[in-house]
Structures are given as structure tokens and as C-alpha cells.
Amino acid sequence: MSTQSRWSTARGLWTRTGGTNTRSLTAYLVPAAVLLATAPALDIYTKMILTVSFIYGLTAVSIDLLWGYAGVLSYAHGALFGIGAYAVAITATSRGNGVLSTVVLGGAIGIVVACLVALAVGGLSFHSRADWLYVGVVSFAVPFIFERLVLAGGEVTGSSSGLSAFMQSVFKPNQWYLLTGIILLLVLSGATVLVRSDTGTLFKAIRENEIRCTYLGIRVNRVKGVLFTATAALTAFAGALLASSQNVVAPDLGGIMAATMMVIWVALGGRGTLVGPVIAAVVIDYVTAIVGAEFPFIWQLGLGVAFLLVVLYLPGGLMSLLRTPMAILSRRFRPAESDDRHADLVIRASDSETPPLNGDEPPVLTLRGVTCRFGSFTAVSEINLEAGAGEVVSIVGPNGAGKSTLMRCISNGTYRTAGSVHVGGQPIKQLSPARVAALGVSQKFQHASVFGALTVGECLRIAQARTVRPSLWRRDRVLTLPRSAVRVIEATGLSALLSERAEDLSHGQKQALELAMVMATDPKVVLLDEPTAGLSHEERTVLGDVFRLIASTEGKLVILVEHDLDFVREISSRILVLHQGQLLLDGSVEDVANSRLVQEIYTGTFDEQELADARES
């Protein structure tokens, strides 16, 4: 490659990756300069207190990343902080010398142990049967157990007295102050880069709508586990800094009170803003140190009241108070600015061709004896079905017939009670929705299930997350989506709405967006649960055409549950009639439309014996 083209490639990369994220890095240069400039003006005592406050700022970043962005509330990080601190203290005490190499060794041990604990806690918490309450409780148990273990640790951990005087002076207080301040700013920049990247968008998507993520094939538990462990490492690192700089550790460093304070800082500062929690942590810790001796109870009372008020009335915390002044400031600097995050987002259709069908392949979808029972109630019973590419299969039946349940049995391997489901010849066994999605199944839900706080462009990017890994540091400016998805986007006018937040869309636009997201995963089987519910006649016509095209041109198997029988008649190639969980009729549009039995079922005038006879056939 010539120098010229290398340079232009580099420039192209820079432009593509530049924008917000290099700005994120430089945004913190000014506060860094302020930190350095004001340092000489402060006295030692204040610097020592601020060193600790800065270190706690690091923990605020961890908690906010996990809670504010990914929606995982963790008390465990209090203990992880304590683990980092005690690792350094114990290592220094046992080696008898607190020099830099010991600190590094202790810190490394602390980080490793913290990560192991995080993996264990993650393993317990992040699995499909755990609800948020269980996660909270498990994480609540960790600091409790930490405190108990430290208290029982005798001479090794210093028990209730803690450990102290284990360090030889590695840095002077002045240096610690600057070091921790710079580290805090570096970590803040890094975290900002992360949250503004596509991975940050993924976290937000998980927080917004975890189920939607799962059905898009995203291994949500794995993402949470990784983030949990990464923040554990950061928090343990902060703990190691604390022990090294303060030369003292005590059990309450990692106990429940400490863990609670971390959560309170983030809540007060403003979840999901990074800067807010850091400011809150630094300010509150500093003030607590100063005021703590004079009026500790009033201060704690004030914090409690502030916390309660924030929870009740101001969930956005401090930063939401600043939003208005910030908006005014933004407009002053660039009056005509629009949100430039998506100004240059481009959607492209992928070039890949759908391989032509030659008739030898196994049917795209096979159901045998699929049954779904809830306790004594049978929702779906003994359904057999074979369907292939290019078909548009509609499932109809009165309410309670089991249509949505049947659909769920296809997209979620754990849902059914008996029978088997094969996708493209592969059995889905008991696979979770994410794994079934990887086999080529994608479901659109009845109530438009999208990511409200994300823009349309971001929703589409996340829809692709399984096949195109989100970057840890940049946003993709170009989305290459399957043709079918692009078709949906263009046909429904979404292409003009890429910068709109999903929650601001009309109902019809949301349905279209979800459909586009579903198609973005390039599935073999497209499950649509009442896709036209609440749409106008126009919108219905547009979508109907799209469904037909998806099936015929892109070779997908489209299965939809519908109530609008006219719509069904127009677009379907095949209709399944369900009644009380059983498959009554499986035939062409004419067969079903002309069936007297079907009419009777819908009007409720059927005869049980005829029904039974029909099932026999």
C-alpha cells in the first residue's frame, strides 16, 4: 500500500472513528489542567482527603457503568473494593515491606481475587431464572460475607482492628493526590469512550429491554457477566490505591454501609451520566470527612433525606437538575447544532445473495407433537407442522386458542412441555431464546418491543449485534443490513427517522421499527405476533406487501398470528386454524375460508362431535 493511500485510509479511519470519541478524550484535558494548576494552593490535609474522594470516584464509575447503563444494581462492589484494599495490606504486612513492588503485587492479587468473586457472583446471578431481586439479594450478601470473613481473620486480616502501618512511603501525599486525580480523569475518559461506543448502546439496550435483546440473539447474561467482572477489576484497583495511599484498612471498607454509600452517590449524582456520580462521590465523601466529626448525625440524616427525595422525585439525580443550564450552554456554543450522533448514519443493503432453493433441503421449520402445559392447563397440544422457505403461514383462531403460545414454543426452546421443534433440520431442544435466534429464528412481539431511549439508528445497530460485534470504542457510521430489512425501512419511511428516539415514534412506526430489527438479524424463520395490531389500513397494506416480498424474494418463512381475516386472506399462502390449543385445519386460503367449521368456531356455534371428527382427519 502506498504512503498516500495509507494516509488516506488512516484519515478515513480517523474521520470514521473520530467525532464524539476523540472529543470524549479531550473533554477531560481541561479538568486535568485545572487539577494540576490548583494543586499548590491546597494544604496537605485537604489533599489527603481529596485523594480518598478521588478513589471513591472510581468506584462511582464502576457502579454507574453497571447500574446506570446496563441496569444491574450491585452491592457486591463494596466488598470488591475491600478485597483490593486488603490484598495490598495483607501482602505488605506478610512481606514486611511496603514498597512499590509489593503494592503492585498486592494490587494484582486483589484484582484477580475480585474477578474470581465477580465470576462466582455472576454465575449465581446472571442466569435465565434469576430475577432482579435475586441479583440484588446475592449482591447484598457479598459485603456481609466479606465483613464476617475479615472479622474472623484473626491476625492475618487484623480482625476488627484492621491493618495499618504496612506501607513504606511509596509516594508523598502531594503525589498521591495528583496521581489519583489523573487516574480518575483517565478512567472517566475511558468510560465515556465506552459508553458512547456501540457497546455502550448495547448496555443501554439491555437496560431498556432485556427480553428484546435476548430474542435478537444477544447473550445478555454473558454481556452482564463480562461487564460485572470488568468493573470488579476497576473497583479492586481503586481499593488497592486506597490501601497504598492511606496505609490503613478496616473491615468497614468493604462492608454493607460502604456498598450502600456507593449506590447512594450514583443515585444522587444521576444514573447513567458518569460525570454526575463522580462529582457526587467526590463532594459527598469530602464533605463527610470534614463535617463528619462536628455533626455526623445531621449530615447522615440530610443524606438520607436527599436520597429519598431523589428516588421519589428526581430519578435523574443531580445531573437532571443541570440539564436545563447545560442545554442553554450547548445552544450558546453552537446555536444551529443538531444531535450529531447520527447525522451521518448510512444504511446499506448487503450484497449477499440468498442461495437459491433446490428442494433437497430439509424443511425450514418442523414441529412434531409440540405441547405446552401450564400446571393443569394445556395451552397447546400435539401440534405437527412442516413449513418451508417462501411460505407465508398465518395462524388464526379465537382468543385463547394458543396462537401466541405456539409462536413462543418456536422461538424459545425452554417454553414447550413436550414434542420437538427443528429449524432447518436442527433441533432447538431446550435452547434459550438467544440460542434459538442464532439458529435463524426471529420473533416480533405483539406490543411493539423496541428500545425506547435509543434512536432508530441505534435500535437497528443493536438488532445486528449478534452478527456484527459492537465496537468497544466507536460507533459504526455505516450499517450494512440485509436487503429485507432495508426494504422494510424504506417502505415504511423509517429512513427519514434515524435520529428519532424510538419512544417518540408513532405506534405504527414502532411496529415498523421492530419489524426492521427482526429482519436485521437475517433470519430463516420470521415470527410475527399480530404485526398489524393498531395500524391504519394504509400501514397495513404497506406491511402486507413487505411480508409477501420477504417471503417470495428473500426466501424467508414468514409465520404470522393475525386476527384480521381479510388481511390474512390477502397475503397468506397457507393458514393454520387453532382452537383450544389444537390444530384444527391446515390448508390453503380457499380451504379455510370455505370451511363451515371455521365459521362456526368463530361464531361459537360449533358442534363438539364435528370438531372431534375434523381433528381425526
Partner 1 sequence: MNAGLVLDGLTTGGLFFIVTLGLLIVFGMMKLINFAHGAFLALGAYTCVLATSHGLPVWLPILLAPVVTGVVAAVVEPIVLRRLYGRPMDTLLATWGLNMIIIQLITLYFGRGTQPVKTVDLGAVDVFGTTYSLYRLLFIPVAVALGLSVALVLNKTRLGLVGRAVIMDENLAQISGINNTVVRFATFVFGSALAGLAGALLTPIASVDPNIGVPWLFAAFMISLLVGISPAALGVACVLLGMLQVLLASLWDPTIATLAVPVAVVLILRFFPQGFVKGARVS
Partner 2 sequence: MSGRGRATTLVASAFAAVMACTVASCSSDAADDNSVLIAIPVGLTGANSVVAPGVVQASELAADQINADGGILGGRQVKLKIYDDQSGANGALKAFTAAVREDNVVGIVGMETTAARNAGQPIAAETNTPYVYTSGYEGKACAQNLFINGSTPEQSVNPLIAYIDENMGAKTWAIVASDYAYGRDTAAFFEQAVKDSGGEVVSTQFNPVDSGDWTSALQNIRSAEPDVVVSILAAGTPSVTLSKQWKQSGLAIPHVNLGMDEDTAKTIGADAAGVLYPSMYFTGNDSPENKEFMQALQDKFGDDAHIPNQMTVPQYVGVHLLAEAIDAAGSTDPAAVLAELPNVAFEGPSGPVQINKQHHAELNYYLGEVKQDGTTEVVADFGLVDPGEQCPELQSAP
Nearer to partner 2, 19 or 402 (CB): 19
CB of 145 to partner 2, least distance (A): 13
| 8-16, 245-253, 398-406, 433-441 -> range binding partner 2 (CB under 8 A) | 245-253
Tell me how far, at minimum, the Cβ of 141 lies from partner 1, in Å: 4
454 neighbors 204 (Cβ within 8 angstroms): yes
Helix (H, G, I), strand (E, B) or coil at 212: helix
User: 105 or 289: whose CB is closer to partner 2?
Assistant: 289
- Using CB under 8 A as the binding rule, the residues of this chain from 382 to 441 that contact partner 2 are none
Contact segment (CB under 8 A) with partner 1 among 50-58, 297-305, 562-570, 603-611 equals 297-305
Question: What does the alpha-carbon distance between residue 281 and residue 263 come to, in Å, rounded to a whole number?
Answer: 10
453 near partner 1, judged by CB under 8 A: no
Other C-beta atoms closer than 10 Å to the C-beta of 327 total 10
Q: Is 530 left (phi over 0), alpha (psi -120 to 50) or beta?
A: left
User: Pick from 71, 173, 165: which is nearest to 125 by CA?
Assistant: 71
- Cα–Cα distance list, 215 to 129, 226, 435, 485 (Å): 16, 20, 9, 17
Alpha carbons 282 and 479: distance in angstroms, whole number: 40
Q: Which is closer to partner 2, CB of 54 or CB of 451?
A: 54
Could you tell which of partner 1, partner 2, none binds residue 138, using a CB distance below 5 to 8 A set by kind? partner 1
Asked if 151 interacts with partner 1 (CB under 8 A), we say yes
Q: Does 99 bind partner 2 (CB under 8 A)?
A: no
Residue 15 is a binding residue for partner 2 (CB under 8 A): no
Span 280-339, contacts to partner 2 by CB under 8 A: 282-283, 286, 289-290, 292-293, 296, 322, 326, 329-334, 337
CB of 421 to partner 2, least distance (A): 48
- Per partner kind, with CB cut-offs from 5 to 8 A, the member of partner 1, partner 2, none near residue 136 is partner 1
Please report how close the Cβ of residue 311 comes to partner 1 at its closest, in angstroms. Answer: 5
C-alpha cell at 225: 457477566
Backbone angles phi, psi at 342, to 5 degrees: -125, 10
Pick 140 or 602: Cβ nearer partner 1: 140
User: Which of 25, 105, 112, 141 touches partner 1 (CB under 8 A)?
Assistant: 141
Q: Does 615 bind partner 2 (CB under 8 A)?
A: no
Under 8 Å between Cβ of 390 and 357:
yes
CB of 23 to partner 2, least distance (A): 5
- Interface region with partner 1, contact rule CB under 8 A, candidates 205-213, 234-242, 295-303, 446-454: 295-303
Q: Strands 582-587 and 574-579: what pairing?
A: antiparallel
For position 179 contacting partner 2 by CB under 8 A, the verdict is no
Query: What is the sign, positive or negative, of the torsion defined by CA atoms of 76, 80, 86, 90?
Result: positive
How near is the Cβ of 497 to partner 1 at its closest, in Å? 30
Number of residues engaging partner 1 in binding (CB under 8 A): 34
Tell which residue, 145, 9, 148, 143, has the closest CA to residue 78.
Answer: 143
- Per this entry, what is the length of the chain? 617
Sequence-ordered list of residues with C-beta below 8 angstroms from that of 289, at least 6 positions apart, any chain? 49, 52, 53
Among 109, 250, 267, 409, binds partner 1 (CB under 8 A): 267
C-alpha closest to that of 124 among 111, 142, 97 = 142
Q: Which does 602 bind (CB under 5 to 8 A by kind): partner 1, partner 2, none?
A: none
131 binds partner 1 (CB under 8 A): yes
DSSP structure string for 403-457: HHHHHHHHH-TTT-SEEEEEETTEE-TT--HHHHHHTTEEEE-SS----TTSBHH
Q: How far apart are CA 62 and CA 230, in angstroms?
A: 9
Asked if 138 is part of the footprint of partner 1 (rule: CB under 8 A), the reply reads yes
User: Which of partner 1, partner 2, none does 330 bind, CB closer than 5 to 8 A by kind?
Assistant: partner 2
The DSSP letter of residue 69 is I
Q: Residue 541 corresponds to which cell in the numbers above?
A: 397494506
> Which region, judged by CB under 8 A, interacts with partner 2, from 66-74, 108-116, 249-257, 396-404?
249-257
User: What are the grid coordinates assigned to 321, written together?
Assistant: 437538575
Beta-carbon contacts of 168 under 8 Å, excluding residues fewer than 6 positions away, are 97, 98, 99
Judge whether 73 and 263 are in contact, CB under 8 Å.
yes
d(CA 467, CA 481): 11
10, 30, 165, 301: residue in contact with partner 1 (rule CB under 8 A): 301
> Nearest distance from residue 87's CB to partner 1, in Å?
21
Radius of gyration of the chain (CA): 29
| Contact mark string toward partner 2, 151..170, x via CB under 8 A | xx-x---xxxxxxxx-----
Nearest CB to partner 2, comparing residues 200 and 217: 200
Please pick, from the candidates 99, 152, 343, 346, the single residue that binds partner 1 as defined by CB under 8 A. 152
> Counting contacts by CB under 8 A, is residue 45 touching partner 2?
yes
| Binding residues for partner 1 (CB under 8 A) | 73, 124, 129-134, 136-138, 140-141, 144-145, 148-149, 151-152, 260, 263, 267, 297-298, 300-301, 303-305, 307-308, 311-312, 315
Residues that bind partner 2 (CB under 8 A): 20, 23-24, 26-28, 30-31, 34-35, 38, 41-46, 48-50, 148, 151-152, 154, 158-165, 246-250, 252-253, 275, 279, 282-283, 286, 289-290, 292-293, 296, 322, 326, 329-334, 337, 340
